[in-house]
Chains A and B, each alone.
Chain A
Amino acid sequence: RKEVEQDPGPFNVPEGATVAFNCTYSNSASQSFFWYRQDCRKEPKLLMSVYSSGNEDGRFTAQLNRASQYISLLIRDSKLSDSATYLCVVNRGNDMRFGAGTRLTVKP
């Protein structure tokens, strides 16, 4: 079993749709959680950190469920520019463990 698991998708949604991604992690000692987005053949870019109380940044909302060991990302009112691969990241000591990513395509 992989330490960080994501549904690979692809998720194909129309503009304006709401889409949610889940990520599960196996190391219960993990303390830090992040979402990154990665465009094709580019570097990952930090989207948001995920806090225990949940956090929101504009159209993006991240939630953490420690008991069930999963993290979610909700994107509201999807834009064409949201098309990318979304990477879930969980720390393991000094090591950041990345999921393989979930691919999102937003269509007109």
Chain B
Amino acid sequence: ETGVTQSPTHLIKTRGQQVTLRCSSQSGHNTVSWYQQALGQGPQFIFQYYREEENGRGNFPPRFSGLQFPNYSSELNVNALELDDSALYLCASSQIAGAGYEQYFGPGTRLTVT
């Protein structure tokens, strides 16, 4: 196991609602990245947090936002949920910021928007 944990495991929300997903990074890792994985697709990069600051962002609208805390854990917030937001949300931690370093994934949160 990677030591990266995520909560909750599953979540069902209604269109228009807001959701917060949580991630605890592996011990010794200071960087957390978030990904969205739709069925049959590879993960898509949402953003990365390093030292409590956003350190790169993918092609996602501003209603996707995040936080990182002093203990390096992180939250992903999604406002005004849409049906297309239904996906597996993965966080990954790494020792060094950027994308050139090995990232280790948590088990994911499966979000269903109805």
Contacts and interface: CB of A to CB of B under 8 A. Distances in A.
Interface of A: 4, 31-32, 34, 42-46, 49, 87, 91-101
Interface string B17-55: 000000000000000010100001111110010000001
Interface in B50-104: 55-56, 58, 90, 97-104
B68 to A, nearest CB: 14
Contacts of B107: 42-43
A95 B42 contact: no
Contacts of A49: 102
Interface residues of chain A: helix, strand, loop or mixed (majority): strand
Contacts of A94: 48, 55-56, 97-99
Given A43-B90, A43-B106, A45-B105, A91 B100 contact: yes
